Amino acid sequence: MTIRVCVAGATGWVGRSLVPAIVAAADLALTGAVARRAQGTIGPGGVPISGTLGEALRAGADVLVDFTSPLVAKAHALTAIRAGVHVVIGTSGLTDRDLEEIDRAARERGVGAIAGANFAIAAVLLEHLALIAARHMTSWEVLDYAQADKPDAPSGTARQLAYRLAEVRQPEVARPVDQTLGAPAARGLTLHGVQVHSIRLPGQVIGAEVVFGSMDERLSIRYDGGSSAAPYIAGCLAAIRHVADRVGLRRGLADILSVDTPAAPGPERHTR
């Protein structure tokens, strides 16, 4: 069965790579595309670009993929869910409260949603390996790297790491942040009991690092993206193919990409 896909943010950095991949996939059909400045033109996937999601969904869609902006991604997700359309959210910057609201709406409507904070296999592996390390190390903090003009902080990748690490347990903290002498803000943002530090610099690419510490030893697990959107595409296609499997919101791609399956046939298996 062909899955009909609408892409919001079709003309953006990710959208420009994602649209041709959807068009090239035999089991997917691009039926809608959304972006404001190019509205009214025919996009790279050969479908008209709509200025609003409501207009784009009129052509019919099974899945909305959103790579737009944190200012509009939640509204897009709720619009799609109300229309009975499954949702894959690539956009970063949504808060836990936003995601809880999307989860509730998806459950009420009986559709699936995936918030893939980072679709790159290296980022999914970082999360997986960090969760193992958190079972054995006593304390950890998250470093969140991105280019200087990234509008949101912390990144979706860092939010997801803090959220998943807190499911393992709370890190030990020798001195509570609010008892820091000087400026407690220097200790970063406390998210789910984890300190998150966002670094925004020219020349920096998207990345994340979890720094673990235990008595007299330290472990660092770090992921770095590159200059192209290519690493996000395979994970996003997998999310499109699996979002309808389950009702409600899933955070992250670990189960979909089966990163904990020992008998991996090869590195390209995450393209399923």
Tell me the longest C-alpha to C-alpha distance in the chain.
Answer: 61
Among 36, 82, 222, 272, binds ligand NAP (CB under 6 A): 36
Q: How far is CA 152 from CA 91, 157, 172, 216, in A?
A: 10, 11, 28, 35
Per CB under 6 A, 17 contacts ligand NAP: no
Closer of 165 and 253 to ligand NAP (Cβ): 253
Among 21, 47, 87, 91, binds ligand NAP (CB under 6 A): 91
Closer of 116 and 171 to ligand NAP (Cβ): 116
By CB under 6 A, the residues from 161 to 220 that bind ligand NAP are: none
Query: For residues 184 and 181, what is the distance between their CA atoms, to the nearest angstrom?
Result: 7
Query: For residues 165 and 184, what is the distance between their CA atoms, to the nearest angstrom?
Result: 22
| Residues in binding contact with ligand NAP, number by CB under 6 A | 29
Residue 60 CB, nearest approach to ligand NAP (Å): 19
**φ, ψ for residue 33, nearest 5 deg:** -145, 140
Structural tokens at position 21: 């991949």
Among 116, 154, 188, 207, binds ligand NAP (CB under 6 A): 116
Per CB under 6 A, 140 contacts ligand NAP: no
Cβ burial, residue 238 (10 Å; 0-12/13-18/19+): buried
Terminal-to-terminal C-alpha distance of the chain:
15
Residue 232 CB, nearest approach to ligand NAP (Å): 4
By CB under 6 A, the residues from 54 to 83 that bind ligand NAP are: 67-70, 72
Q: How far is CA 138 from CA 63, 170, 171, 208, in A?
A: 41, 9, 6, 19
Among 3, 6, 35, 191, binds ligand NAP (CB under 6 A): 35
Where do contacts with ligand NAP occur on this chain (CB under 6 A)?
8-15, 34-38, 67-70, 72, 90-93, 116-120, 156, 232
